[in-house]
């Protein structure tokens, strides 16, 4: 009993170092930026943020920061670029 419990804890420790085992299907959170607090959601691979930048660009610094925090735990279709339209127009 005790040794199997230790095994579970060891497995949990190993899993915790393997974030690619986890994929967030949806998210809802509050992001406290330098100037304001924003509400961010992820549903069906689509982001939403209440900041003004997102309203114009469908991308923003909050989503970019979350991608850096969560990395491989975000689904493929939730990976975004900052200013994707501008980047593609200067593609080489």
- Compute the least distance from the CB of residue 81 to Zn ion, in Å: 14
Which of 10, 86 has the CB closer to Zn ion?
A: 86
Binder to Zn ion among 42, 47, 59, 62 (CB under 5 A)?
62
Kindly determine how many residues on this chain lie close enough to bind Zn ion according to the rule CB under 5 A. 5
Which of 22, 65 has the CB closer to Zn ion?
A: 65
Q: How far apart are alpha carbons 4 and 12 in whole angstroms?
A: 12
Q: Are 25 and 78 in contact (CB under 8 A)?
A: no
Told to check if 42 binds Zn ion by CB under 5 A, we report no
Told to check if 60 binds Zn ion by CB under 5 A, we report yes
Which of 21, 39 has the CB closer to Zn ion?
A: 39
- Write out the residues near Zn ion by the rule CB under 5 A: 49, 51, 54, 60, 62
């Amino acid at each position: 009993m005790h040794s199997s419990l230790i095994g579970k804890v060891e497995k949990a420790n190993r899993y915790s170092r393997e974030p690619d085992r986890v994929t967030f299907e949806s998210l809802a959170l509050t992001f406290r930026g330098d100037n304001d607090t924003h509400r961010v959601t992820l549903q069906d691979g689509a982001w939403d943020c209440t900041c003004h930048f997102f309203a114009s660009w469908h991308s923003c610094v909050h989503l970019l920061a979350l991608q850096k925090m969560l990395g491989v735990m975000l689904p493929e279709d939730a990976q975004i670029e900052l200013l994707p339209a501008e980047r593609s127009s200067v593609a080489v």
